[in-house]
Chain A
Amino acid sequence: MASAKPAVKRPLSPHLSIYRFQINMVMSILHRITGTANYFGTAFVAAWLMSAATGSKHYETANALLTHPIGMLLVFGYSWSVIHHMVGGVRHLIWDTGRGFSIANVNALSWLTIVLSLTLTVLVWVVGLISRGAIVL
C-alpha cells in the first residue's frame, strides 16, 4: 500500500554541503557564470556597434556610459569574464583530448586557469592603455 508517511528515516544521497572546497569546482561554476555574463554582455557589444552605426548622438551616449567609472569597471569585468571563459575553454579542449585527468593535473590546470585569466586581463589593459598613451612608462 502506498503511503506518503516516511516510516523510516532513510539516508539521503550526499548533497552539495558535504563537499570540501576544491579549486576545480570553483573553476567549473566560474566557467558557467562567466559564460552567462558573456552571453548578456554580447548584447551590449551589439548595442555599441549599433550606436557607432547610427550616428554621433547615440555614440556619444554610449561613450559617456563606457568612460564613466562604473562603466569602465563593468567593461573591465566583462573583459576578465571573456578571457576567463576563453582560458577555461582551452582547459576543456585539453581535457577533450583525454589528457590532464589525474587529480594533480586537474588541480594544476584549475589554478592555472584563474592565474592566467587574471594575468592576461591586466596585461591586455596595461598594453592597451600604454599603446593609447594613457599610461606613460
Chain B
Amino acid sequence: MSQRTPLGKVRGLGSAKDGTDHFWKQRVTGVANLILVCWMFVVLAKIAGADLQTVKSTLARPQNAIAIVLLMLSASMHMRLGMQVIIEDYVHSEGRKVLLLMANTFFCIVVALTSVFAILKLSLGA
C-alpha cells in the first residue's frame, strides 16, 4: 500500500522535490558539451601555441566566439551538477557539505563568466 498522496504522485518529484531535474540537466548539458567540445578541438588544434594576433582573430570570429560562450555556459552547469554529486557522496558533515556546495556553485559561475568576459572582450573590445 502506497503512503504517497495523490498530489505527490501527480507531481512525481519525490522527496528531494526536484524529480529528474538534476539527471536531465546533466544529460542535456552533456550532449551540448559533446558537440561544442568537438568544435573547440578543431579550433584549438589550429591555434594552440600560436602568436597572440592569430589567437585573437580566430577566437573573435562569431562562430568561434558563440561556440565558446555556449560551451562555457553548458560546461559550467555540467561541472556544477557533477561536482555536487561527488560532494554529496563523500562529505557527510552537514556544515562542510553546505560550504563545499556553495563553493562549487561560486567556482563554476566564476569560471563561466570569466571565460565569457574574455571572449566578449576579444570579439567586441579594442
What residues make up the interface of A, taking CB atoms closer than 8 Å to B?
32, 35-36, 38-39, 42-43, 45-47, 49-50, 52-54, 56, 59-60, 63, 66-67, 75, 79, 82, 86, 89-90, 92-93, 96, 124, 127-128, 131-132
- B43-63 interface with A by 8 A CB criterion: 44-46, 48-49, 52, 55-56, 59
Asked if A45 and B115 sit within 8 Å, CB to CB, the answer is yes
Cβ-closest chain A residue relative to B44:
A128
Interface of A is mostly: helix
> In the complex, what's the smallest C-beta–C-beta distance from A61 to chain B, in angstroms?
12
Within 8 Å of chain A (Cβ to Cβ): is B91?
no
> Which of these, B49, B68, B82, B125, contacts A49 with CB under 8 Å?
B68
Cβ-closest chain B residue relative to A131:
B45
C-alpha gap A50/B34 in the complex (Å): 24
Category for how many chain B residues contact A: 35 or more
- B30-86 interface with A by 8 A CB criterion: 30-31, 33-34, 37, 41, 44-46, 48-49, 52, 55-56, 59, 68, 72, 75-76, 79, 82-83, 86
C-alpha gap A128/B45 in the complex (Å): 5
Asked if A46 and B46 sit within 8 Å, CB to CB, the answer is no
Cβ-closest chain B residue relative to A43:
B111
Asked if A39 and B82 sit within 8 Å, CB to CB, the answer is yes
